[in-house]
Amino acid sequence: MDPSVGCIGLYCGRTKLDEYNYSDCGSCLRGFRVDGNGVCVECVERPQFYDWLYITFMAFILVIIEWYLTEECVKRRQLTVDVL
């Protein structure tokens, strides 16, 4: 495959099989990202500020969803907070 032909989508790329051959378009492996040429390359940069903000936001959302589901479960069972 010719790596100069780009893949459709921002997160699809070609994996280097050997010196001259590349795979078909597909998702990159974990720990890899697509470079400007559409080839999957290993991530070696440390996470930047906005990466940490995203990770924190996702963790915060999970905690909020867990709190919400716990409250809904308690309401459904007719238990009060004093009983718990």
Strands 26-27 and 12-13 turn out to be: antiparallel
Q: What is the dihedral of CA 37, 40, 45, 51, to 10 degrees?
A: 100
Question: Residue 32 pairs with which residues in a beta bridge?
Answer: 42
**How many other C-beta atoms lie within 10 A of the C-beta of residue 57?**
10
Task: Check: CB of residue 33 under 8 Å from CB of residue 44.
Answer: no
pLDDT digits (tens, 9 = 90+) for 27-55: 999 889 898 888 899 999 898 999 999 99
Q: Give residue limits of the domains in the chain.
A: 1-45, 46-84
Copy the structure tokens of residue 80.
């009060």
The model's pTM: 0.55
Percent of the residues in the chain that have a pLDDT greater than 90, as a whole number: 31
> If you average pLDDT over residues 75-79, what whole number do you get?
66
Answer whether residue 1 shows pLDDT above 60: no
> If you average pLDDT over residues 5-27, what whole number do you get?
86
